[in-house]
């Protein structure tokens, strides 16, 4: 499986939220305060060894090819989609139009944020409910605008509704391919740590709000650089950036000097770092809005239990030549070695 990646050299940087200075600073950022539960504390972070990181988020096509191979290859093991203890997945109710009954059944809305709901019958290949298959095409029985895009377009979108457990399995199964491609016998492909992810997102630059700098758009009314929510959240997404749901990978071009795409916006990305009531996810998504979830930033972070799946949650992998245990930021200060609680956090969505 040939997945494009770029090498990120070892180094150190200032991790976390720090008010930007210089070009693009301004009054807004001077008064901006991240959500206190997100713990975007400023720390000096060290990346002890270089690594390769996927240029794009993992796509539906890549995940589909992996599953086809995994089902038939004895080295992969029998694949089953991880189900959390609630046997459901999270969907954004205003724009997915799931039908009652049948595939894509909405169980209820979230107890705190009513625009999120729990649904059954929704998977990576059926991300928006009834008959919206990624691989075989289709559209919603409800008549609402569920994804009726051509198959090749949907295959190029980031895969969603994938738990951390399944994301880890996908990355691990790529190890042999990546070792051969990079000439790194004994290397490991896995999810990035939070420190690695944010280091890569910053593109070798300090003090940036976004991967590209401190201004959200090119010029005052210029082009969008990422897929996030425009309009009135959560009622109306005007999709000024061209997309009300996920967008094809790379649609907005590279976001930093490393040539990485969609590091912020489009879908949240799993990391292996323990945080909050589960694991840290980074990058924000197409459902982030400046009035509610201003998390399409380098420093932004949120949390989910490892068995959570959602309509705006995906991943990308990293490859290291030799795994150096203890050198990477695999656990944060909240991890005391105890069992990780499977608790749903409102701000995690």
> Which residue do the tokens 């999270």 mark?
90
**Tens digit of pLDDT for each residue in 7-43?**
999 999 999 998 887 666 666 777 788 887 888 889 9
Cα 73 from Cα 101, distance rounded (Å): 35
**Tens digit of pLDDT for each residue in 233-252?**
888 899 999 998 899 999 99
Q: What contacts 329, CB < 8 A, 6 or more positions away?
A: 45, 193, 194, 195, 196, 273
Question: What pLDDT is recorded for position 340?
Answer: 32
Q: Is residue 332 part of a domain?
A: yes
Structural domain of residue 305, as residue ranges?
Answer: 5-59+163-348
CA atoms within 13 A of residue 74's CA, in its CB half-sphere? 0
Q: Is residue 339 part of a domain?
A: yes
Q: Is residue 103 part of a domain?
A: no
Question: What pLDDT is recorded for position 68?
Answer: 84
pTM: 0.83
User: Alpha helix locations (H) across the chain?
Assistant: 26-31, 60-72, 93-96, 151-155, 164-173, 175-182, 194-201
Q: Is residue 146 part of a domain?
A: no
157-181: average pLDDT: 94
**Is pLDDT above 80 for 342?**
no
Question: What pLDDT is recorded for position 84?
Answer: 58
Q: Is residue 110 part of a domain?
A: no
**Tens digit of pLDDT for each residue in 199-227?**
999 999 998 999 999 999 876 668 999 99
Q: Is residue 328 part of a domain?
A: yes
**Is pLDDT above 70 for 152?**
no
Question: What pLDDT is recorded for position 121?
Answer: 73
Least confident interval from 61-75, 96-110, 308-322:
96-110
Residue 234's CB is within 10 A of a number of other CB atoms, namely 20
**Is pLDDT above 60 for 102?**
no
| Nearest by Cα to 205 from 326, 298, 312 | 298
Q: How many residues does the chain have?
A: 349
Q: Is residue 294 part of a domain?
A: yes
Cα 211 from Cα 2, distance rounded (Å): 25
Beta strands in the chain (DSSP E): 5-8, 11-15, 43-47, 51-54, 89-92, 105-109, 116-120, 188-190, 231-232, 236-237, 268-275, 278-282, 301-304, 313-314, 318-320
Q: Is residue 102 part of a domain?
A: no
Question: What pLDDT is recorded for position 150?
Answer: 41
Could you give the number of structural domains in the chain?
1
* CATH number of the structural domain spanning residue 322: 3.90.1580.10
Question: What pLDDT is recorded for position 130?
Answer: 53
């Amino acid at each position: 499986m040939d997945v494009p990646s770029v090498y990120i050299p070892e180094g150190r940087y200032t991790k976390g939220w720090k008010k930007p200075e210089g070009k693009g600073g301004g009054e807004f950022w001077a008064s901006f305060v991240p959500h206190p539960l997100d713990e975007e504390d400023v720390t000096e972070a060290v990346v002890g060894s270089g690594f390769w990181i996927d240029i794009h988020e993992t796509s539906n096509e890549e995940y589909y090819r992996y599953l086809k191979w995994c089902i038939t290859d004895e080295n992969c093991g029998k694949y089953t989609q991880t189900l959390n203890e609630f046997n459901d997945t999270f969907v954004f109710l205003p724009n997915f139009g799931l039908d009652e009954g049948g595939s894509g059944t909405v169980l209820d809305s979230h107890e705190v944020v009513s625009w999120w709901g729990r649904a059954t019958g929704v998977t990576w290949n059926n991300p928006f409910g009834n008959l919206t298959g990624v691989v075989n095409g289709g559209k919603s029985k409800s008549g609402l605008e569920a994804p009726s895009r051509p198959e090749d377009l949907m295959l190029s979108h980031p895969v969603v509704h994938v738990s951390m457990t399944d994301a880890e399995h996908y990355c691990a199964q790529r190890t042999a391919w990546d070792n051969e491609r990079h000439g790194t016998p004994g290397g490991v492909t896995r999810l990035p740590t939070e420190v690695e992810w944010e280091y890569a997102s910053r593109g070798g630059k300090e003090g940036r709000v976004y991967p590209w700098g401190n201004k959200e758009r090119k010029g005052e009314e210029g082009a969008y650089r990422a897929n996030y929510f425009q309009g009135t959240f959560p009622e109306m997404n005007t999709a000024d950036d061209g997309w009300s749901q996920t967008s094809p990978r790379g649609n907005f071009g590279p976001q930093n000097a490393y040539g990485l795409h969609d590091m912020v916006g489009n879908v949240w990305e799993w990391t292996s770092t323990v945080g909050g009531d589960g694991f840290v996810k980074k990058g924000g998504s197409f459902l982030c809005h400046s009035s509610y979830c201003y998390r399409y930033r380098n420093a932004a972070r949120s949390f989910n239990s490892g068995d959570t799946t959602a309509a705006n949650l995906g991943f990308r992998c990293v490859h290291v030549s030799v795994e150096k245990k203890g050198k990477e930021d695999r656990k944060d200060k909240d991890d005391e070695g105890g069992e990780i609680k499977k608790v749903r956090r409102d701000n995690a969505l």
